[in-house]
């Protein structure tokens, strides 16, 4: 009898599985697919092309498939139709020629739960609310004036980093981890001013959220199976992360409200991002008033973009420099030259470090922080290169493949910063062969801040490598 009861959960799971398979099979039989979709590989019943993404990195696999089937390729992943964009020409069609048709985001369970029901700028559907948020970010949160106002925070964190390194002279240290933690601290202090007491917990959850936002979760690929988020445990996991993050953000916002009730005496104290949003909530006169959940969602966007983007790029840059001693020595020589002339190297000198900028651009070309840009969705039916793209089709832009397109880049797989000397190609969304931050209406609104987050830690990496004589 005990054994029979032990078998019940297994039997129940098996019956649910059979039911789901039959349901998906029936749906696939009655679905009327457009006849003129872009080329596609051979697919399996029910799961479509999902099997092609197994046992390999998705951006690598999709790059290989695009070489065989074309830079505008159709994939059926689970129940959902996807278009994969893998060339500058196709990217321009999606993010410029037909940008308005692809300006919204698909439904993702993770974005719904974590981003306060799509209240953030990254996953908010295209419309008036999103336009207001983007304007707030561009003019209030991420303007060049605002970015420059946080300079003292960046320089303080870098000084702490260098002191920490030299206090461990003779000991084994993980320099990459220390640089990334410094970048995290800069981001967190820009948002909150005070040091985040739960720094490690926040960073851990932030990394999981980036993965959850990829759109490749089975719960997102089989949306008609309403029980799947519960059966897989994904909903419970996301809600647990959301609860932990919400508690942290609520504490931070309440501390800021209490601080604003007792205004700072010094005029030199710069409002952090939470202060700016709370002020807009109280006095902004916005068409869509900011609720506390909206503020949390926007702050979450800023933090994840700042921490994950910068740390990933810094790690890749260090890896490439270690593998290329010639480039490392050239970058070090440039930093030393500026130091010998000024007696110091700080943020105001970044514009003189021209080779450093080339190194960062080449890093972003070969290793965009997000190999796939955040997914888009077609708002209506349209045609690209005579192919039909139905409404509600998800669009994956493979920025990793585009940055390695041999039609645009000589020796595309080689790390060679000099390729950008006298080149007009920039990362700001106008050159579609180089789109690490996206393009069109959905381009990253904080490129200027992200660039500083990337450049400053790396320039200090060069200072550290030059030797302690510079910083003692």
Binding-site residue positions for heme: 444
Phi and psi at residue 422, to the nearest 5°: 60, 20
On whether the CB atoms of residues 214 and 345 are closer than 8 A, the answer is no
Q: In 3-state terms, what secondary structure has residue 252?
A: helix
Burial of 43 (0-12, 13-18, 19+ CB in 10 A): middle
444-447 LR contacts (CB < 8 Å, sep 24+): 444/305, 445/121, 445/134, 445/137, 445/138, 445/142, 446/137, 446/141, 446/142, 446/302, 446/305, 446/306
Cα–Cα separations (whole angstroms), residue 54 to 82, 163, 372:
17, 45, 17
**Of residues 103, 102, 72, 75, the one with CA closest to residue 88:** 72
Beta bridge partners of 74: 83
Token code pair at residue 27: 């749906």
On whether the CB atoms of residues 123 and 115 are closer than 8 A, the answer is yes
Cα–Cα separations (whole angstroms), residue 21 to 13, 25, 42, 76:
12, 6, 20, 16
Residue 193 gets the label, from left (phi > 0), alpha (psi -120 to 50) or beta, of left
Scanning the structure block, which residue is given the tokens 């130091």?
Answer: 339
Positions at the binding site: 444
**Of residues 40, 125, 32, the one with CA closest to residue 83:** 40
């Amino acid at each position: 009898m005990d054994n029979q009861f032990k078998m019940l959960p297994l039997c129940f799971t098996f019956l649910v599985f059979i039911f789901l398979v039959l349901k998906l099979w029936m749906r696939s039989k009655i679905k009327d697919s457009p006849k003129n979709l872009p080329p596609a590989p051979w697919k399996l019943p029910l799961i479509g092309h999902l099997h092609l993404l197994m046992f390999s990195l998705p951006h690598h696999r999709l790059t290989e498939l695009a070489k065989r089937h074309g830079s505008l390729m159709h994939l059926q992943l689970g129940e959902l139709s996807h278009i994969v964009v893998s060339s500058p020409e196709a990217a321009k069609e999606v993010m410029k020629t037909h940008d308005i048709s692809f300006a919204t985001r698909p439904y993702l369970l993770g974005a719904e739960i974590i981003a306060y029901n799509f209240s953030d700028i990254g996953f908010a559907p295209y419309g008036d609310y999103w336009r207001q948020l983007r304007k707030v970010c561009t003019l209030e949160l991420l303007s060049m004036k605002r970015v420059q106002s946080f300079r003292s925070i960046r320089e303080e964190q870098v000084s702490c980093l260098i002191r920490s390194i030299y206090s461990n002279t003779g000991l084994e240290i993980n320099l990459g981890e220390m640089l990334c933690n410094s970048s995290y601290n800069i981001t967190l202090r820009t948002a909150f001013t005070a040091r985040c007491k739960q720094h490690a917990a926040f960073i851990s959850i932030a990394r999981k959220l980036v993965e959850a936002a990829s759109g490749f979760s089975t719960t997102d690929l089989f949306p008609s199976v309403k029980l799947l988020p519960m059966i897989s445990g994904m909903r419970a996991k996301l809600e647990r992360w959301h609860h932990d993050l919400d508690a942290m953000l609520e504490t931070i916002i309440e501390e800021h409200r209490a601080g604003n009730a007792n205004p700072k005496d010094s005029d030199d104290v710069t409002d952090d991002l939470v202060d700016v949003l709370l002020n807009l909530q109280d006095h902004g006169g916005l068409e869509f008033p900011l609720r506390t959940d909206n503020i949390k969602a926007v702050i979450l966007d800023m933090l994840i973009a700042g921490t994950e983007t910068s740390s990933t790029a810094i790690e890749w840059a260090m890896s490439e420099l270690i593998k290329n001693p010639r480039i490392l020595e050239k970058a070090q020589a440039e930093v030393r030259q500026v130091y010998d002339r000024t007696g110091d190297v700080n943020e105001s000198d970044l514009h003189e470090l021209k080779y450093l900028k080339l190194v960062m651009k080449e890093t972003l070309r070969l290793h965009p922080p997000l190999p796939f840009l955040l997914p888009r969705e077609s708002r209506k039916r349209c045609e690209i290169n005579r192919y039909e793209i139905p409404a509600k089709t998800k669009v994956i832009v493979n920025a990793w493949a585009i940055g390695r397109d041999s039609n645009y880049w000589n020796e595309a797989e080689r790390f060679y910063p000099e390729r950008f000397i006298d080149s007009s190609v920039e990362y700001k969304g106008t050159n579609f062969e180089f789109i690490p931050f996206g393009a069109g209406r959905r381009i990253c609104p904080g490129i200027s801040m992200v660039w500083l987050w990337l450049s400053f830690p790396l320039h200090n990496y060069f200072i550290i490598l030059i030797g302690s004589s510079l910083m003692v």
